[in-house]
Amino acid sequence: MKVYVGLCLSNQLTTRHGVKLQRRWTDIAQNAATSCLSKPERNNVSRSHCRGICGAAVIGADQLIGFDIEYTDPRRNWPAILSRFCDDKDLTSSSAQALCKGWTYLEAYFKAFGTYPEPKELLEVINAPNGETEGLTSTHFGWRYHMPIADAFFFTVLGQGHINGIEILPLITAPNLA
């Protein structure tokens, strides 16, 4: 099964008016991903945008999917944010990159399944050695895929079903929109 991830990268700074543009860029990313499906009218989609990087993950209609993009902001208090979902003492020694990856996992999981992962699952993603959880990984619910993009961003896409035959196919565009 193929999972198409449309990513739309903008070099424009986002402002308080940037959300409308980011929605347009997310539409472009979704259209690029959906156009690759053999039956584009039957699909499940999950969308996300953050600071001018927009995207959508698309899969056949019989599968659940979750997708999230986030900026790894070193000034953000990641342990405080994630402490709602697991014990913050487990987070204090983690890097901003690891915590951001955990956040994208949490968000993508919620988008796919309508609930949050168990703290143990979240900590597994956060505490994995650098690079170990990047790429396609088998899970109890199906699969997950983490990937760093554009220096300080991370995306996670995940879904249900068996990992065998899953292909993650990123499609990157850089529109020149005003």
Q: Which of 18-32, 90-104, 110-124 has the lowest mean pLDDT?
A: 18-32
pLDDT in tens, 86-110: 887 878 788 899 999 999 999 999 9
Domain regions of the chain by residue span: 2-173
In whole angstroms, give the CA distance from residue 80 to residue 11. Answer: 30
- For tokens 């990313």, name the residue: 29
Amino acid identity for residue 145 in this structure: Y
* pTM of the predicted model as reported, rounded to 2 decimal places: 0.84
Rg of the chain over Cα atoms, rounded to whole angstroms, equals: 16
